[in-house]
Amino acid sequence: MILVHHLQIGRPLFTVFLLEELGLDYELKLYTRNELGRAPAELKEAHPLGKSPVIEDGDITLAESGAIAWHLVEHYDVEGRFSPPPLSQKAARAEWFQWLHYTEASAFAPLLLKLLLMREAEPKPQLISMFAAGEVALQLGYIQDFLGDKAYILGADLQLPDFGVAYITQMADRLGELGPYPKLKAYLDRATARPAYARALKKTGG
Amino acid sequence: MILVHHLQIGRPLFTVFLLEELGLDYELKLYTRNELGRAPAELKEAHPLGKSPVIEDGDITLAESGAIAWHLVEHYDVEGRFSPPPLSQKAARAEWFQWLHYTEASAFAPLLLKLLLMREAEPKPQLISMFAAGEVALQLGYIQDFLGDKAYILGADLQLPDFGVAYITQMADRLGELGPYPKLKAYLDRATARPAYARALKKTGG
């Protein structure tokens, strides 16, 4: 049985969303943020970085959303529904892995900066504010352009990289950044309207 | 033939380092940073995000260091030297992928913040400064503890996740953050003493 160390509110919800889509049994250990919005110290007992999501799978303790998603799919996606295109489809497979990595890497840091800037006292730092604004526009513009009129980021069906894209678009929405990106808002609404997301939300509280 | 769009100075050097370790033929297209330390606009012709590294492999254009490293190993690591442990070694394989993702994700954002803070005018933003200091210490402490007395992050030999760890430790070193982490400094010295790194440095200029 997989155990998810789940911190409300944020990225771990999308790990639980994946578990629900896969139809796997799992247990939850719920944590709430402290008054500063940070993870509680007890999460360090689960993993030295004290972050979430962290999963336990037997004697394995695993951090990093992208690595967790890949682990779950490699071992438990019996129907291959969320597996990448085969090695022979070189271009499609490369794109799939780019999107799996991208949402945890380049796409995330600018939004983290935006979040920190909202909490920072006046006067806001000028260079960091400019950098964050430019990078958020670059990343969200890229995602919307790539999405185009597709239902999900790589086509008509929800695929593994979508869990990261849905997280990024939800974070952008919460930061009030999705206004200029109606296709991303529609995408987020589409992803979060899925029954598996509703179950994940209900079981975790967010 | 693989083409690397290479921006001096930073992460792309570690993609070229990997190509040198693999003994692959490749071409370089070199770019230099502008006076603000940012990538030049012409990099957007290679990829809409305008970042580096970006590689071209036939008709595939691929961004994100972690995805590029994985693509190169999946298709061109004929000896399997940088391939992950097999599926049957579940724990070792999970750890390998965690480290592949981690250096591009959780480990990177705090160092980016430090870099931006160095360039920010006085007064430095208090909350972001505190956040960055705490997170840098958390991440570098975690990496050093995990490394312990091993030569490379996962054992005696250089493995694929080491290219990301070497990048992170080099960035931390350039930001003056490695002082409290002598084992990470020794690790960086060990990685960058390899002939393949010297060749990458010589061909790219950094």
Summarised one tens digit per residue, pLDDT across range A169-180 is 999 999 999 999
Shared domain for A74 and A137, answered yes or no, is no
Phi, psi of B137 (to 5 degrees): -65, -40
Q: Is residue A37 located within the same domain as residue A108? A: no
* pLDDT 10s digits, A84-137: 999 999 999 999 999 999 999 999 999 999 999 999 999 999 999 999 999 999
Residue A59 and residue A37 share a domain: yes
**CB-based contact (8 Å) between A109 and chain B?**
yes
Residue window 49-78, chain B: list those with CB within 8 Å of chain A: 49-51, 57-60, 62-67, 70-71, 74-75
For position B99, what pLDDT does the model report? 98
Q: Give CA–CA dist A199/A196, Å, rounded.
A: 5
Residues 1-30 of A with CB under 8 A from B: none
What is the extent of the structural domain holding B130? Answer: 90-194
Q: How many domains does chain A have?
A: 2
Residues A184 and A200 grouped into a single domain: no
The band of A38, judged by pLDDT with boundaries at 50, 70 and 90, is confident
pLDDT at B6 (0 to 100): 97
- Same structural domain, B64 and B94: no
Q: Are residues A131 and A187 in the same domain?
A: yes
Name the residue among A90, A98, A117 with its Cβ closest to that of B64: A98
Q: Answer whether B90's CB lies under 8 Å from A76's CB.
A: no
pLDDT at B65: 97
CATH of the domain at A150: 1.20.1050.10
**In angstroms, rounded to a whole number, what is the distance separating the alpha carbons of residues B165 and A110?**
21
| Positions in chain B whose pLDDT score sits under 50 | none
Query: Around Cβ B165, how many Cβ atoms within 10 Å?
Result: 27
Whole-number pLDDT of residue B72: 98
Do residues A136 and A176 share a domain?
yes
Residues A30 and A122 in one domain: no
Give rounded-to-5 percent helix, strand, coil for chain A: 55, 10, 35
Residues A75, A167, single domain; the answer is: no
**Mean pLDDT over residues A23-49, rounded?**
94
pLDDT of residue A187: 99
Q: How many CB pairs under 8 A join A and B?
A: 138
On whether both A105 and A170 belong to a single domain, the answer is yes
Which A-chain residues 154-183 have CB contacts (< 8 A) with chain B?
Answer: none
Contact A49 B119 (CB under 8 A): no
Mean pLDDT of A3-8: 97
Reported pTM: 0.97
Per-residue pLDDT, A37: 83
Write the single-letter amino acid at B161: P
- CATH value at residue B68: 3.40.30.10
Q: What is the pLDDT of residue B36?
A: 80
- To test the contact with chain B by mutation, choose from A61, A64, A120, A171 the residue with the greatest count of B C-beta atoms within 10 A, namely A64
User: With contact defined as beta carbons under 8 Å apart, do A101 and A161 qualify?
Assistant: no
Backbone angles phi, psi at A31, to 5 degrees: -130, 150
Contacting residues for A43 by C-beta, under 8 A, at least 6 apart: A5, A7, A31, A50, A51, A52, A54
Shared domain for A50 and A133, answered yes or no, is no
* B8 and B104 belong to one structural domain: no
Rounded to an integer, the average pLDDT of A141-163 is 98
Give the span between the Cα atoms of B114 and A195, in whole angstroms: 41
Segment B120-125 long-range contacts (CB within 8 Å, at least 24 positions apart):
B120/A125, B120/A126, B120/A127, B120/A128, B121/A125, B121/A126, B121/A127, B123/A123, B124/A125, B125/A120, B125/A121, B125/A124, B125/A125, B125/A128
Asked if B120 is an interface residue toward chain A (Cβ–Cβ < 8 A), one would say yes
Q: Does A121 touch chain B (CB under 8 A)?
A: yes
**What is the pLDDT at residue A19?**
98
Give chain B positions within 8 Å (CB) of A124.
125
Q: Does position A77 have pLDDT exceeding 90, yes or no?
A: yes
Which of B87, B101, B138 is opposite residue A104, by nearest beta carbon? B101
